[in-house]
């Protein structure tokens, strides 16, 4: 039995009363949450920092771990995407596996306990089967041509079967507004609704995405030209991307909008009016890496968007660390509420994944990981206590 305490204990939703003590059994399960007066002082292990549940990384691409350090910074999303296509299959299967295992270990050391992970194939199954971390895999589907919706969806269902066979939680997810047709997005939402599973979509990661939808101009024309894909079927909507596709989302499906770097207030109001199960994922280090621009944290906050945090992949980040994402946000906004950023890093991500009874909160009877956050605001580090 261990009794642990610190000046600040964050439950996943709020700070607990000063003097709170967590009682852990030998398996790190919280057997009780008590006041320091209920236990002999010399039995309590005191830590200097903030104790909180294990972190939830709600957006990662484990499959891209071998691209660590290979993609140039600040080249914009289109060049980034082309580099990924160019390099992702160059490494051997063994190297890809080894780099995924290393990334899984790194996340564990960084106090991450659960991950929403994007996959385009079955390469990560072995790592996920062997990992002590919880993974929900989003099988990401790509197909902008509406005529291909059925065959792309069929391919996604085949991938789903492989993950189910390995007893790994998984659901389908459209890649992004500029790479998934409306019929494909609709099929994915229908499927997630039937099985009560969450989905995820990259949203407004670049200005070019809005430009593509508003006027069928900009960098995405270059991308599709290089890829040799005709865009004859695509018509501009004269609206931003989120407003162009958001009405097709099934509002009963928990949906993660990832990045939101170029999302404006009108976009937020539009989607919030239609959809109550929305979560907004921030991956600020990846945004700096690719576009050298941060999302408007204040705008999302003022509009009461339920925020989660993600690392994105090692192709667009130098580390897979939620505390590094927290630090970057606090460096640009030192007065940002600590309570709300810690909630984004724990409870909100767990709620999105549908695992909030097991992860994201300090709860009696559960082992959701226990982190100790040390250091000063904007320069935090994390240590695993349990």
Q: Which residues contact Zn ion (rule: CB under 5 A)? A: 312
Question: Exposed e or buried b for every residue in 85-99, given b needs 16+ CB within 10 A?
Answer: eeebeebeeeebbeb
CB of 313 to Zn ion, least distance (A): 6
Least distance from C-beta 172 to Zn ion, angstroms? 16
We find the least distance from the C-beta atom of residue 121 to Zn ion, in angstroms, to be 15
In 3-state terms, what secondary structure has residue 46?
strand
Q: Closer to Zn ion by CB, 4 or 258: give it.
A: 258
Listed residue (349, 280, 288) closest to 317, CA to CA: 288
Residue, CB closest to Zn ion: 312
**Given the structure tokens 């299967």, which residue do they identify?**
93
Distance CA(32)–CA(362), nearest Å, equals: 10
- Nearer to Zn ion among residue 259 and residue 275 (C-beta): 259
Question: Half-sphere exposure of residue 192, counting CA atoms within 13 Å on the CB side?
Answer: 31
Rounded to whole angstroms, how far apart are CA atoms 256 and 281? 6
Smallest gap, in angstroms, from Cβ of residue 258 to Zn ion?
Answer: 6
Contacts made by residues 122-126, CB under 8 angstroms, sequence distance 24+: 122/159, 122/162, 122/163, 123/63, 123/93, 123/96, 123/97, 124/62, 124/63, 124/100, 125/162, 125/163, 125/166, 125/168, 126/97
Of the pair 211, 312, the CB lying nearest Zn ion is at: 312
Q: Which is nearer to Zn ion, 9 or 278 (CB)?
A: 278
**Least Å distance between CB 385 and Zn ion?**
30
* Nearest-5° Cα angle at 321, 355 to 132: 50
Say which residue the tokens 């494909």 belong to: 184
Smaller CB separation from Zn ion, 312 or 325? 312
CB of 82 to Zn ion, least distance (A): 15
**Residue 137 contacts residue 198 (beta carbons within 8 Å):** no
Alpha-helix residue ranges (DSSP H) falling in 110-259? 125-130, 149-165, 182-194, 207-215, 219-226, 241-245
| CB closer to Zn ion, 119 vs 346 | 119
Smallest gap, in angstroms, from Cβ of residue 76 to Zn ion?
15
Q: Which is nearer to Zn ion, 30 or 67 (CB)?
A: 67
């Amino acid at each position: 039995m261990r009794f642990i305490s610190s000046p600040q204990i964050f439950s996943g939703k709020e700070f607990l009363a000063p003097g709170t003590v967590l009682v852990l059994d030998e398996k790190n399960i919280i057997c009780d949450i008590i006041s320091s007066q209920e236990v002999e002082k010399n039995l309590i292990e005191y830590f200097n920092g903030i104790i909180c549940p294990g972190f939830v990384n709600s957006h990662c691409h484990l499959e891209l771990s071998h691209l660590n350090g290979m993609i140039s910074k600040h080249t914009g999303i289109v060049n980034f995407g082309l580099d990924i296509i160019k390099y992702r299959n160059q490494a051997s299967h063994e190297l890809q596996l080894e780099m995924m295992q290393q990334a899984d270990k790194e996340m564990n050391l960084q106090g991450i306990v659960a991950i929403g992970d994007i996959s385009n194939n079955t390469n990560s199954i072995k790592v996920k089967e062997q990992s002590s971390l919880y993974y929900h895999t989003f099988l990401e589907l790509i197909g902008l041509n509406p005529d291909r919706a059925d065959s792309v969806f069929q391919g996604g269902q085949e991938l789903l079967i492989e993950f189910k066979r390995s007893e790994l939680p998984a659901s389908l997810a459209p890649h992004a507004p500029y790479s998934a047709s409306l019929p494909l997005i609709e099929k994915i939402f229908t499927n997630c609704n039937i099985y009560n599973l969450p989905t995820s979509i990259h949203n407004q990661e670049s200005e070019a995405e809005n430009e593509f939808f508003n006027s069928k101009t900009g960098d995405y024309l270059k991308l599709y030209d290089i890829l040799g894909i005709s865009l004859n079927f695509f018509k501009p909507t004269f609206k931003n991307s989120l407003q162009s596709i958001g009405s097709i989302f099934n509002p009963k499906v928990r949906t993660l909008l990832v990045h939101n770097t170029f999302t404006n207030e009108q976009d937020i109001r539009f989607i919030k009016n239609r959809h109550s199960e929305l979560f907004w994922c921030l991956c600020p280090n990846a945004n700096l890496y690719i576009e050298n621009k941060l999302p408007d944290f204040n705008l999302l906050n003022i509009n009461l968007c339920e925020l989660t945090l993600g690392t994105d992949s090692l192709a667009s980040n130098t580390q897979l660390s939620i505390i590094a994402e927290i630090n970057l946000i606090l460096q640009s906004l030192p007065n940002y509420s600590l309570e709300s950023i810690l909630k984004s890093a724990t409870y909100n991500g767990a709620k999105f994944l549908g695992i909030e009874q097991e992860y994201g909160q300090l709860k009696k009877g559960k082992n959701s990981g226990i982190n100790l956050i040390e250091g000063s605001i904007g320069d935090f580090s994390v240590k695993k206590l349990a």
